[in-house]
């Protein structure tokens, strides 16, 4: 600390620089002894202030270099840092060991305690600030995570709903195409009975044996497959056989003449087509009841539609033809 800095410090402490010589050498000016034994005055010497005895000392009298003074000045700017002169240091050490001046012991103890308290207080403040900052950042991150999670859940629900709908539509379209393909294939099939099994012969061989020369011009089936026997069958009935033809016309030509030797049971259709045929039969039954028992009209089912011979020839009835209600005659 230079002389100017010392004056400013002295004014702050309420001391007069001219009345305070160096506490160590008891002189205002600082002198050093040269190797030749001569005293040399130091221009503008650095000063240091003791926080215990409140005295000023030449830095050189305290064996402090200019580097030491600079370091001390930086440390003194921080809270809780004190500097004691050599004389006070001796008394403070004695006080800490249990002896010495009570006043110095109290000063030393208070200074040490105050330094520790200031250090603890500063540490607590830093920790509080760090915790507060961390908590704010954590709350902000949690809020972002909650928002992202809510958006992801909403997006996922919409995606699952869309995927489920697409799957349902695709399955329905696939089932429809499959049903159409199977329906087209079943149009070439028919179900017959009366072909009794015989050991050593296939169902097709048994079928050809039943057909005599009068069937030579009629299309023959491509295959004949015996269907699974009904568990309730007593064994006296030969069971059903499915015949497959090259096309639908061949099937109908065969069925037209096949009743002479065989017992046609119908064509091979799906469950949906069976349900549709049932509805058509119910429709025919209602129309017959509406027309009366004496009506000459006859009905039949062809290609999943109703035909009537009211005009003398078999003609298809209009789709969704309303059923006439039966009227009573008085």
Tell me how many domains the chain contains: 3
Domain that holds residue 236: 187-268
Q: Which residue has the higher pLDDT, 228 or 207?
A: 207
Instruction: Determine the pLDDT at residue 10.
Output: 42
CATH value at residue 198: 3.30.70
3-state SS string for 22-76: CCCCCCCCEEEECCCCCEEEECCCCEEECCCCCCEEECHHHCCCHHHHHHHHHHH
What CA–CA distance (Å, rounded) separates 220 from 144?
77
Instruction: Determine the pLDDT at residue 5.
Output: 53
DSSP-assigned letter for residue 230: P
Residues 11-59: pLDDT tens digits? 334 455 446 789 888 888 888 888 888 888 888 888 999 988 888 999 9
Instruction: Determine the pLDDT at residue 108.
Output: 54
Q: Are residues 287 and 262 in the same domain?
A: no
CATH value at residue 37: 3.30.40.10
**pLDDT mean over 160-169:** 77
Q: Are residues 22 and 34 in the same domain?
A: yes
CB 226 within 8 A of CB 196: no
pLDDT at 325 over 70: no
pLDDT at 324 over 50: no
Q: Which residue has the higher pLDDT, 70 or 115?
A: 70
Residue 180 forms part of a structural domain: no
Instruction: Determine the pLDDT at residue 114.
Output: 67
DSSP-assigned letter for residue 78: S
Q: Place 230 in a pLDDT band, splitting at 50, 70 and 90.
A: low
Instruction: Determine the pLDDT at residue 327.
Output: 40
Distances (CA, A) of 244 to 170, 177, 184, 194: 31, 21, 12, 17
Domain end among 100, 133, 166? 100
Q: Are residues 322 and 257 in the same domain?
A: no
Q: Are residues 277 and 314 in the same domain?
A: yes
Q: Residue 38 burial (CB < 10 Å; 0-12/13-18/19+)?
A: exposed
Q: Place 2 in a pLDDT band, splitting at 50, 70 and 90.
A: very low
Residues 245-273: pLDDT tens digits? 888 888 888 877 765 566 655 555 666 77
**pLDDT mean over 118-140:** 81
Residues 130-153: pLDDT tens digits? 888 888 888 888 888 888 888 888
Q: Which of 29-38, 86-95, 292-301 has the lowest mean pLDDT?
A: 292-301
pLDDT at 94 over 70: yes
Instruction: Determine the pLDDT at residue 322.
Output: 44
Instruction: Determine the pLDDT at residue 57.
Output: 92
**pLDDT mean over 63-81:** 82
Instruction: Determine the pLDDT at residue 219.
Output: 83
Q: Are residues 261 and 280 in the same domain?
A: no
Residue 205 forms part of a structural domain: yes
Max Cα distance, the chain (Å): 165
Distances (CA, A) of 83 to 13, 16, 76: 15, 20, 8
What CA–CA distance (Å, rounded) separates 189 from 269?
9
């Amino acid at each position: 600390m230079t002389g100017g800095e010392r004056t400013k410090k002295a004014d702050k402490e309420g001391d007069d620089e001219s009345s305070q010589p160096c506490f160590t050498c008891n002189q205002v000016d600082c002198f050093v002894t040269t190797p030749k034994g001569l005293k040399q005055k130091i221009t503008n010497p650095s000063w240091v202030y003791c926080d215990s005895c409140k005295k000023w000392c030449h830095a050189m009298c305290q064996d402090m270099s200019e580097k030491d003074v600079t370091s001390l000045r930086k440390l003194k700017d921080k809270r809780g840092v004190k500097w004691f002169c050599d004389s006070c240091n001796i008394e403070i050490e004695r006080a800490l060991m249990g002896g010495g001046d009570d006043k110095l012991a109290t000063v030393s103890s208070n200074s040490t305690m105050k330094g520790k308290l200031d250090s603890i207080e500063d540490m607590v403040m830093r920790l509080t600030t760090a915790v507060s900052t961390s908590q704010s950042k954590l709350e902000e991150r949690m809020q972002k995570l909650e928002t992202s999670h809510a958006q992801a859940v909403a997006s996922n629900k919409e995606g699952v709903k869309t995927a489920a709908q697409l799957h349902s539509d695709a399955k329905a379209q696939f089932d429809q195409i499959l049903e159409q393909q199977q329906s087209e294939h079943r149009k070439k099939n028919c179900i017959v009975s009366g072909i009794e099994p015989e050991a050593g012969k296939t169902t097709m061989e048994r079928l050809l044996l039943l057909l005599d020369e009068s069937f030579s011009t009629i299309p023959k089936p491509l295959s004949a497959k015996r269907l699974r026997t009904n568990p309730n069958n007593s064994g006296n009935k030969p069971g059903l056989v499915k015949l497959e033809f090259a096309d639908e016309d061949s099937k109908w030509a065969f069925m037209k003449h096949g009743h002479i030797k065989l017992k046609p049971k119908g064509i091979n259709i799906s469950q949906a087509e069976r349900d549709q045929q049932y509805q058509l039969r119910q429709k025919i039954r209602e129309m017959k009841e509406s027309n009366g028992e004496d009506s000459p009209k006859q009905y039949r089912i062809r290609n999943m539609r109703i035909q009537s011979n009211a005009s003398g020839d078999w003609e298809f009835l209009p789709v969704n033809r309303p059923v006439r209600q039966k009227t009573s005659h008085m």
